Amino acid sequence: MAGTGSRDRTERRSAGELESEVLAALWATERPLTPAEIQAELDGGLAYNTVHTILKRLYDKGLVLRDADGRRGAYRPVKNAAELTAEAMHEALDRGPDPIAALQQFVSGLSAEEERALRHLLGGGTA
């Protein structure tokens, strides 16, 4: 059957999923990676041009930097995973009409371990 290769699997994933996969590959290393290296890290499941397009989108969003020194065309993340997640959480709270209610809903869904960590961070208990 025509059109049932890895390209079709790639097309079914959203741009956000692909961006997350590329960011995860960048976060997994301490050095900038080229599109070819990222493609290899993703087990070749994406075409080189797709990886390059995703990197351009991430660059345009300010999420990755192109390495000007050293190797040409290598990329590195601007923020680590925790920083990016925290920023997204702040943006979500800012968008909603009732950030306190949103926080209450969020906290009620935490695991026991997450709740202990949050209490520790807020200084109200032990971790």
Give the angle subtended at the CA of 123 by the CAs of 118 and 127, to the nearest 5°: 55
Residue 93 CB coordination number (10 Å)? 14
Of 20, 55, 16, the residue nearest 34 (C-alpha): 55
- Report the sign of the C-alpha dihedral through residues 81, 22, 94, 106, in that order: negative
User: Coil, strand or helix: which one is 89?
Assistant: helix
The answer to whether 50 touches 101, Cβ cutoff 8 Å, is no
Say whether pLDDT at 15 is over 90: no
Measured CA to CA, the distance from residue 46 to residue 82 in angstroms comes to 26
What global pTM score does this model have? 0.72
Tokens of 78: 């601007």
Among 2-6, 25-29, 48-52, 106-110, which stretch is predicted with the lowest mean pLDDT? Answer: 2-6
Highest-pLDDT range among 5-14, 20-29, 118-127: 20-29
The per-residue pLDDT for range 27-45, each reduced to its tens digit, is: 999 999 999 999 999 986 7
